[in-house]
Amino acid sequence: MSSVPDGGAITAPQGYRAGATTAGIKESGRPDLALLVSDETASAAALFTSNVVKAPPLVLDREHMTDHRLRAVVVNSGNANAATGARGLADARQMAAMTAARVGCGETDVFVLSTGIIGHYMPMEQVAAGIGKVEPSRGGGGDFARAIMTTDTFVKEAIERFEANGVSYVVGGCAKGAGMIHPDMATMLAFLTTDAPVTAEALDQQLRYAVDRSLNMVTVDGDTSTNDTVVLLANGAAGGRAIDAGDTRAAGALGEALRGVCTELATAIARDGEGATRLIEVTVTGGASWDEARRVARSVVRSPLLKAALSKGDPNWGRVLMAAGNAGVPFDPGGLRLWIGETLLFAKDTTTGVPESEAAKAISGDTVRIRLDLGRGGESAVAWGCDLTEEYVRFNADYVT
């Protein structure tokens, strides 16, 4: 983990500029339109929501990603351009065209993202004015990170450095959270940049590796939005030989750097889950496969019963056990062991008899660590979430559009 420079994370790698402006899409008057530009056309990879209902910008982006190349990313907050049909798609296409004209690149080299309320058409006049106004610069990464926020209470940025083929590279990233004070802003967006030269295949593989172990392991409330997207640009501005998929050492170094950045963004998103007071980290070891370890970890971290208990420091391990058993993984409870913090609470199919007051000590801080060993093999996975507080319900219930 490296510290983010003043100019922001996504412009920390060479050859990127970013900026943001207030276009007037948000009623609050906060910055709501941002632009990321690579000096040269970059190799690119993206991952989209698994929700079958995808917002129009994502439909456009998939089209634009067929050649795996991008020059610019335009993003607005305040309106998700979701559930807007053919008109929404035309609006997204127009955002790409306007950005292409501003940057001086082809329309298909622009990636478009939107986050905000669902079911309202985009205010295209404001969007057009905003795209005309924004001035991307080398120090604009932080402004970009702030402009994508909706209900986030803090900016989420991270950088990592790695070496491949004797050259030093930087990976930068920023994200907005899936924390949902407001009902329609249920979107996780993450933007990643690197100055390494990477083939499309290697970029795609390493992005998936990193995201599967980080951003895909975050649960705030179990819902996947219509707009969730991760996009990664690799412009090669730092020089060196192109990292390709066959070059496992260099590709692996890139993957670990991406994983580092994405894990930092993921835990920040979980910690900033709306109303949250505690980060919950669930580690599952002893899985017969990574997939089953992952499924158990996710099932535990998303249990509303457990999340509610942890908000008041109640070490309710019965709920951990129940949630683990609901993951659809056929483990033998006789082989399961369960810890909260360092305290072993369940083993050999029964309670260890440790008083809950003992375990309660482990959840007095702002991070709760839960561990389960499935006793089935050597694979492990980690998932992150947050506690469920009355604030979550109040904010989600009281929101008025």
Binding site for its own copies (CB under 8 A): 50-54, 82-88, 117-120, 180, 183-184, 186, 221-226, 303-305, 308-309, 311-312, 314, 316-319, 321-326, 329-331, 333, 336, 346, 348-351, 356, 388-390, 392-394, 396-401
C-beta separation of 183 from 212 below 8 A: no
Element (H, E) at 367: strand 367-373
Closest separation in Å from C-beta 273 to its own copies: 12
- Could you say which of 21, 187, 193, 219 is catalytic? 187
Q: Please, what is the Cα angle at 23 between 18 and 28, to 5 degrees?
A: 110
- By beta-carbon proximity to its own copies, the closer residue of 195 and 221 is 221
What does 200-224 look like in DSSP terms, one character per residue?
HHHHHHHHHHHHHTTGGGEESSS--
Give residues with Cβ within 8 angstroms of 107, minimum separation 6.
64, 93, 96, 97, 100
Closest separation in Å from C-beta 324 to its own copies: 7
Residue 187 annotated among the catalytic residues of the structure: yes
Query: Which tokens is 303 given?
Result: 């249990």
- By beta-carbon proximity to its own copies, the closer residue of 259 and 278 is 278
Q: Is 62 left (phi over 0), alpha (psi -120 to 50) or beta?
A: alpha
C-beta separation of 280 from 301 below 8 A: yes
Closest separation in Å from C-beta 54 to its own copies: 8
User: Cα separation of 273 and 370, whole Å?
Assistant: 18
Closest separation in Å from C-beta 254 to its own copies: 31
Closest separation in Å from C-beta 287 to its own copies: 14
User: Cα separation of 352 and 344, whole Å?
Assistant: 7
Whose CA is closest to 383, among 274, 254, 287, 257? 287
Other CB atoms closer than 10 Å to residue 342's CB: what's the count? 11
- By beta-carbon proximity to its own copies, the closer residue of 118 and 159 is 118
Closest separation in Å from C-beta 45 to its own copies: 23
- By beta-carbon proximity to its own copies, the closer residue of 233 and 320 is 320
- Specify the residue for token string 């839960």: 370
- By beta-carbon proximity to its own copies, the closer residue of 117 and 147 is 117
- By beta-carbon proximity to its own copies, the closer residue of 248 and 351 is 351
Q: Cite the active site residues.
A: 187
